[in-house]
Structure 1
């Protein structure tokens, strides 16, 4: 089997502390800085309940990602999971959806940074940050 045909294997270099930091960063994200006021406006006195529901959903999402990664330890993430179990078209859709979702997340993070640094130039800062 040539190197191009060899199955890819993930390099296991991330320890427990790093994995926890990456997971928390991915789940908490900029929402910690940007969503308290809108969340309070929508949930009112039920904010703690809403946060509990959100934490449960995030935990279940993390658990499903852990199970997928453990059962299919190759590089490719969402694309490789979709391709393996649902076929190539579903893998492509999963991969594109992942990239679009992460791009939207980067945009939200950039808007949050812009709002903190210079509210009057929030959108300009966000566009420059995403472009970089």
Structure 2
């Protein structure tokens, strides 16, 4: 019984101590800094936060236009959300960009999320499109 109680308390303390911390752009991992400089320009960075707990850490960058970019603990992008604004697509898989251009030529990508085995893309017309980890079309969610 003592062991179970200890495990529960440890789990609760992990949530208690997890918190967002404001950091400088220079404290973002190098991969994340390079990503921002390549696709967005670091002069447009408004805020950088570190979400750290016992098991992981993630970073969030907010740009002056409201765009939100999330990175994992190594600085790999996991989500780019333009908040209804078009985002650059140079970092997205070519198959995804080509599919969107061909199938929805009057739209643009406003959000892309990279999961372990898939991508989720939101278009300016409100459609959500799912792709597999290789960038192949899976389905459209409206």
Q: TM-score, normalised by structure 1?
A: 0.27
Q: Comparing both structures, which one devotes a greater share of its residues to strand?
A: 2
TM-score (structure 2 length as normaliser): 0.26
Higher relative contact order (CA 8 A, sep 6+): 1
